[in-house]
Amino acid sequence: MLSQSKTSSAFSSLPLKSELTSNLETMGYEKMTLIQEQSLPLILKGEDVIGQAKTGSGKTAAFGLGLLNKLDVKRFRIQSLVLCPTRELADQVAKEIRTLARGIHNIKVLTLCGGVPMGPQIGSLEHGAHIIVGTPGRLTDHLSRGRLDLSNVNLLILDEADRMLEMGFQDALDQILGETPHQRQTLLFSATFPKQIKSMTESIMYAPKRVEVKETHDNSSIEQHFYCLKNNDQRMQALRLLLLDKRPESAVVFCNTKRETQQVADELANLGFSALAIHGDLEQRDRDRVLLQFANKSLNVLVATDVAARGLDIDALDAVFNYHLPFDFEVHTHRVGRTGRAGSKGSAYTFYTEKGYITELIGESIGRQITSEALPSDNILADIPPVPEMKTIQIDGGKKQKLRPGDILGALTNGKEISGDEIGKIQISDIRAFVAVNRRIAKRALNKLKDGKIKGRNFRAWLV
């Protein structure tokens, strides 16, 4: 296993294509993170690499830069394949690769995931691609029907391999790996390293170099709080008290099971909180809609399972709540690491009924003994739950109707009754668009879109 590199941590010290280096400068990326500093030199040399690091460590940029540097853009074949456990993570990875590739012309990145119609993916595959990012289930669907040719893949990446195995994708992975050339570079990134991963690396990798970054969370950016409860029945009361007292603009409540996730979200909603659940039993369309509302700040509380929250791309998450302690210490580290990112402040609140092995490990990682804090006074239960700053409007039109964010922004601000700073994120898919607007002007904005025109056309619109 490699220790931390003593070479320069500047991206400019790497043998990267000039287009990549220039783009990194425009993005404000100067110094590498620890996982990038340790893995990128090996990746660029063509070595097989096993990377172990926490969420938010910069691993996507590490393998993204590696695959873009290796890519021959003039050779229009599938050269790189990135496998992810969930559609949310795949979308996030594809987005970051496209951002890193901005300085290189004509690179095509194609996302192949379940939960969306097969037709558009078939059409895209017929037109070809350089890079495929996808989930195992949908990739095997395309392979079984002869639509996907992986015979030119020279770089294979398994991102969050531990989650893929946990989700039962072993057979699908075996099928996909069997369709790629034996002579290829393979990168595997995993938060944890169970026996299954060790067995997999021995069969699919050639003399891999293993790099491990054991970064503890910066206690100056993440405050961790712990509450010892007498029994399970106290958990909802404790959660209510803290949500009313701290009033986070965006918070994720982590539960260990899908059933509990839905129950907690339903109870919070019945109590007047802006809360929705995300878990594996939801239809993909519903999951996408929940995540969109949470990302654009028209939803305060997201109640989630660990797998469903993988790939959650939220700029600034105020707080994380551990409704139950996870069964694995590494999972706790990942949960807490979702707040306090990119230099922002964050808080983590953990409920437990008794101390044990997991609490001991948590105490060691933060450098102090875990002691229970007092919950806020029950008097606060009379307070009204906070409401989201924004509301989301859905528009019945998207990229296929040539809609762009500027068109929607222009339609809303035309006439100057609504200012640009009252409008939040605008997201456009193939057939629909979503715009976040300040809740104070939500009805006015909705009427403007329904009664007016966008690019000279009428579109249906409604509040989500």
Q: What is the distance of C-alpha 392 from the center of its chain?
A: 20
Phi, psi of 253 (to 5 degrees): -105, 115
Residue type (1 letter), 215: E
Residue ranges covered by each domain of the chain: 11-212, 222-382, 390-463
Q: What is the mean pLDDT of residues 147-160?
A: 95
Of 56-70, 272-286, 296-310, 325-339, the range with the lowest mean pLDDT is: 325-339
Residue 6 pLDDT level (bands cut at 50, 70, 90): very low
**Which residues have CB under 8 Å from 377's CB, separation 6+?**
none
Calculate what percentage of the chain has a pLDDT beyond 70.
93
What 3-state DSSP class applies to 187? strand
Is the domain spanning 390-463 CATH 3.30.70.330? The answer is yes
Q: Could you tell me the maximum CA-CA distance found in the chain, to the nearest angstrom?
A: 67
Predicted confidence (pLDDT) at residue 167 exceeds the cutoff of 70 = yes
Q: Under CATH, what is the fold of the domain 222-382?
A: Rossmann fold (3.40.50)
Tell which residue, 86, 82, 87, has the closest CA to residue 61.
82
- What is the sign, positive or negative, of the torsion defined by CA atoms of 214, 217, 220, 225? negative
Query: How do 433-438 and 423-428 pair as beta strands?
Result: antiparallel
> Could you give the 3-state DSSP secondary structure of residue 87?
helix
Nearest to 38 by CA among 16, 19, 14: 14
Can you give the pTM of this predicted structure?
0.64
Contact 328, 276 (CB under 8 A): no
Residue 385, SS3 per DSSP: coil
| Helix H or strand E segment including 254 | strand 251-254
**The pLDDT of residue 186:** 96
Helix (H), strand (E) counts: the chain: 16, 17
Cα dihedral 12→14→17→22 (10° resolution):
-20
CATH architecture of 11-212: 3-Layer(aba) Sandwich (3.40)
Per DSSP (E only), the strands in 327-464 are 346-352, 390-395, 423-428, 433-438, 461-463
* DSSP structural state of residue 404: -
Distance CA 285, CA 288 (A): 5
Domains 222-382 and 390-463 share a fold: no
Cα–Cα distance, 184 to 178 (Å, whole number): 12
Arithmetic mean of pLDDT over the chain: 88
